[in-house]
Amino acid sequence: MRGEPAFGGFRLERHGEIDSTNTLLRAYAEGGEPEGLIVLAVAQARGRGRHGRSWNSPPGNLYASLLLRPQSSLAAAATLALVAGLSVAEALQEHVQPRQRVTLKWPNDLLLDGAKLAGILLEGADDGAGGCAWVVIGLGLNLARAPAGTPYPATSLAEGAGLALTPDEVLATWLPIFGRRLRQWRSRGFAGLRDAWLAQAQGLGSQARLRLGERLVHGRFAGLDADGALLLEGASGGTTRYAAGELFFA
């Protein structure tokens, strides 16, 4: 079993620059590593984002991945990305000024006053019998600097909130909160956390666009269903659920 004891009962393995904390932890997962390990890196040479994008990973920001073996279906395990996002938002809300808002943009982004502060990349494998063998939850959080040239506004805790937090300080706040949210998820599923997630949601009730590959659909962001899927209400009042996609507001 790898790692040194860390906050919230998790284990932590520290690295300098590596290719990607998700890639390394996936290899550990395939090798049978028990759940609860976090891989933390100072920088990543090949950080990965969602939709096959790269994640710019210079020193100064937080790059961490966490291994779980949730003993659920793969679909249910995918909602752990929402649980992770919620717990990170709750942790960061303790650090920023009360007038500032850390919000959740479905499915996996965290925004600070509307600009992207962090992203989550969840990767998992099935156990060959309809269940989930493991999930790796990767968190990239802009502590010191935001990437330049993104197609969306981006920020960091330093730039957007005047905070100089270290990765360890963030882990100390986040992991106990994540541990509590995880226990709730294990007993009640995402349905038990949905209201808490929606209370931090960006754009709830607003008009939104959802990109599904080449297709764009429009509607009012009406909420999430019990599986964490997005509910968009059309002009005629009917609601459609979407399990994936990229969400934009006005």
Residue 155 is a binding residue for ligand BTN (CB under 6 A) = no
Of 10, 12, 22, 103, which one interacts with ligand BTN (CB under 6 A)? 22
- Residue 213: C-alpha distances to residues 15, 22, 105, 158, 246 (Å): 35, 24, 18, 34, 9
Shortest spacing between CB 97 and ligand BTN, in angstroms: 24
Residue 120 is a binding residue for ligand BTN (CB under 6 A) = yes
- Burial annotation 90-118 (CB, 10 A radius, 16+ → b, else e): bbbbeebeeeeebbbbbbbbbbbebbbbb
Q: Are 118 and 110 in contact (CB under 8 A)?
A: yes
- Choices 44-52, 76-84, 174-182, 207-215 (CB under 6 A): range interacting with ligand BTN: 44-52
Measure the CA–CA gap between 222 and 238, rounded to whole angstroms.
Answer: 11
By CB under 6 A, the residues from 166 to 225 that bind ligand BTN are none
By CB under 6 A, the residues from 45 to 74 that bind ligand BTN are 47-50, 53, 55, 63-65
Shortest spacing between CB 135 and ligand BTN, in angstroms: 13
Nearest CA to 237 out of 224, 220, 250, 216 is that of 220
Residue 147 is a binding residue for ligand BTN (CB under 6 A) = no
Measure the CA–CA gap between 188 and 72, rounded to whole angstroms.
Answer: 12
Write out the residues near ligand BTN by the rule CB under 6 A: 20-22, 44, 47-50, 53, 55, 63-65, 109, 119-121, 138-140
